[in-house]
Chain A
Amino acid sequence: MRPRYLLMLLALSAIWGSSFMWIKIGVREISPATLVFGRVGTGMLTLIPVVLLALGARGAFAELRRHWWPLFLVGALNAAVPFWLLSWSETRLDSGLAAIIQAAAPIFVALLALRFVPSERVTGWRLVGLLVGFAGVGLLVGVQEGGDVVAALAVVATALCYAGSILYAGRRLGGVQPMVIALGTLLSATILMAPAGISQAPGSVPPAETILAVLVLGVVCSAIAYLLYFGIMAGAGASRAILVTYLVPAFAVFYGAVFLGEPVTASALIGLALILGGVALGTGAVSPVAWRNARLRPPAPAPRRDLG
């Protein structure tokens, strides 16, 4: 990977990793729905000039109109619902822990692909990876006490949402410009969150810290992060872009421990190791067999991951 993309990858991981901390700071003062509404709203407002400059008003509008229904669904499944669930669960859970559980999303992608993509098979080391990853998720959910189990399960549900939306977007929005997908997602999430977000807003202006958290979440963690992510995808390929999954929880645990004084427990570290190991094996990113065989055989052409 060229150093430029490595740098972008690190920046993206640092940004996305910090979102868990900003959410934690935000939900101290305002309701999760208001936080999410503010986040997707400012993210949308940030992306509008970018998309207008890149595509022109007419082109952007036509693209949004043509794909309004899948964009609307992705907005619900990839932003509104998981953001809301995550923000709510962070009213009860440590931010680092939430990030670790969410890192299991690729495992759910593999699992859902198994169910909905007929050609997909998971055997051998990949199956072991899935099981290891689930063991990690189960461990982290299991060690929560009382009502926090529900919060941990809510984070698991966000991972499921992301997995479902990735598969759906791959199938229905394959040829659409990434920038348009990002804008459409944030636009429809803003519309969806408006009733709950506005009606549960505080009557008075929240403290500066809260406003800063919402602005950073919207401008940096949503708008800029999307642009970086799609930039890496375009320049270095999807298999490199997905590496961000491994780095995000590490950054999030670091921020949580340093800035919020969250404890780094043994169960969190074991869960993190299991989940990341599971993701690496389960998605086929690392395969002991392929490693051994690679020296014997010429590499096969990469299979086209066409989900449609």
Chain B
Amino acid sequence: MRGYVPLLLLLAAIWGSSYLFIKVAVRDVPPAAMVELRLLFAVPLLLGYLASQVGGRRALSELRRVGRVGVVLGIANAAVPFTLIAWGEQHVDSGIAAIANATVPIFVVLLALHYRPEERISRLQAAGIVLGLVGVAVLAGFNPTGGWWAVAGTLAVVLSSVSYAAANLYAGKRVGNLATGPVLAAASMLAALVLLAPLALLRLPAATPSPQAIASIAALGLIGTALAQIVFYRMLRLYGSARSSLVAYLLPVTALAYGAVLLDEPVTGATLAGLVLILAGVAIGSGRVRVAWPR
């Protein structure tokens, strides 16, 4: 059985674990250094996978062809959001971060409205976007445990969603037939690895990280980053983007479950309200759910 549902659940389970691994890792390692190590684990696996798919020589030439697009995506789709999430998770629970990160489709619509004047959305979609933004406010504002730092942490993750959304729009315009998903993933993460190196060296961990933190970063790079990408592209190939993107709705749920069960994070009413509002906002705002008005 290699059906759609098992693959979707599997992907949600391995992708959703990233937030947990990040949370455990940033206890010991500063954000930029953590992301650098994460990429150090993920990039060889992604490159190896690419080479096994198309052959080493062809992989190299495809990577070279991506060029500047890869660098821009490396910044907007990897280096910046990874670091923002890592910084944010120093101050908020992993489940909260995952929910705040589920807002990407909302910002895709908002940015598209701003940068493409010809883009139009329905009144319902607009309402969905407002709903999602209210969800962000609920999630960030009703976080009494961590005070202002927690608000800042949540907003940092929201900012990472904006970065992902911008990368999404840029890729939609620039990539075209230039490259396939796995090539872009490998190229952008390789670029991020190089670009982040100076920042990571600027703030090294104070002491040698614990074995737990190192294991967490290794699992984050190998499982939560590289393997999740590979499974996601497989899913895209088998089931198309509409059905594959449903994983975005499951990710915050699995991440919340991991955090609650394994890290004893509290699941408050505000967290759940934020989750429901954001997911509903994404579903309506992206135009996936339409309502038939009575006439």
A interface residue numbers (CB < 8 A to B): 58, 61, 69, 72, 191, 194-196, 198-205
**Contact call A195/B258, Cβ cutoff below 8 A:** yes
**Contact call A198/B223, Cβ cutoff below 8 A:** no
**Contact call B21/A198, Cβ cutoff below 8 A:** yes
> Which residue of B21, B52, B211 contacts A195 across the interface (Cβ within 8 Å)?
B21
Tell me, rounded to whole Å, the shortest Cβ–Cβ distance linking A231 to chain B. Answer: 30
> Which residue of A72, A191, A200, A205 contacts B262 across the interface (Cβ within 8 Å)?
A200
**Contact call A204/B210, Cβ cutoff below 8 A:** yes
Tell me, rounded to whole Å, the shortest Cβ–Cβ distance linking B216 to chain A. Answer: 5
Chain A residues with CB under 8 Å of B6's CB are 69
Chain B residues with CB under 8 Å of A200's CB are 262
Q: Is B24 an interface residue (CB 8 A)?
A: yes
B interface residue numbers (CB < 8 A to A): 1-2, 6, 10, 14, 17, 20-21, 24, 52, 210-212, 215-216, 219, 223, 227, 258, 262-263
Tell me, rounded to whole Å, the shortest Cβ–Cβ distance linking B266 to chain A. Answer: 16
Secondary structure dominating the interface of B? helix
User: For the complex, what is the distance from the CA of A194 to the CA of B159, rounded to whole Å?
Assistant: 28
Tell me, rounded to whole Å, the shortest Cβ–Cβ distance linking A35 to chain B. Answer: 13
Most buried by A among B21, B52, B210, B211: B211
Chain B residues with CB under 8 Å of A203's CB are 210, 212
**Contact call A199/B211, Cβ cutoff below 8 A:** no
Chain A residues with CB under 8 Å of B223's CB are 191, 194
> Which residue of A191, A204, A205 contacts B14 across the interface (Cβ within 8 Å)?
A191
User: For the complex, what is the distance from the CA of A199 to the CA of B20, rounded to whole Å?
Assistant: 8
Chain B residues with CB under 8 Å of A61's CB are 52
**Contact call B10/A199, Cβ cutoff below 8 A:** no
**Contact call B2/A198, Cβ cutoff below 8 A:** no
Tell me, rounded to whole Å, the shortest Cβ–Cβ distance linking B139 to chain A. Answer: 22
> Which residue of B1, B14, B52, B216 contacts A198 across the interface (Cβ within 8 Å)?
B216
Having A195-B258, A199-B258, A205-B210, one finds 5 other A-B pairs with CB under 8 Å, namely A191-B227, A194-B17, A198-B219, A203-B212, A205-B211
Chain B residues with CB under 8 Å of A202's CB are 212
Chain B residues with CB under 8 Å of A204's CB are 210
Tell me, rounded to whole Å, the shortest Cβ–Cβ distance linking B152 to chain A. Answer: 24
> Which residue of A72, A194, A196, A201 contacts B211 across the interface (Cβ within 8 Å)?
A201
Tell me, rounded to whole Å, the shortest Cβ–Cβ distance linking A214 to chain B. Answer: 12
23 pairs from A and B in contact (CB 8 Å cutoff): A58-B52, A61-B52, A69-B2, A69-B6, A72-B10, A191-B227, A194-B17, A194-B21, A194-B219, A194-B223, A195-B17, A195-B21, A195-B219, A198-B21, A198-B216, A198-B219, A199-B24, A199-B216, A199-B258, A199-B263, A201-B212, A202-B212, A205-B210
Nearest neighbor of A204 in chain B, beta-carbon distance = B210
User: For the complex, what is the distance from the CA of A204 to the CA of B21, rounded to whole Å?
Assistant: 17
User: For the complex, what is the distance from the CA of A295 to the CA of B262, rounded to whole Å?
Assistant: 61
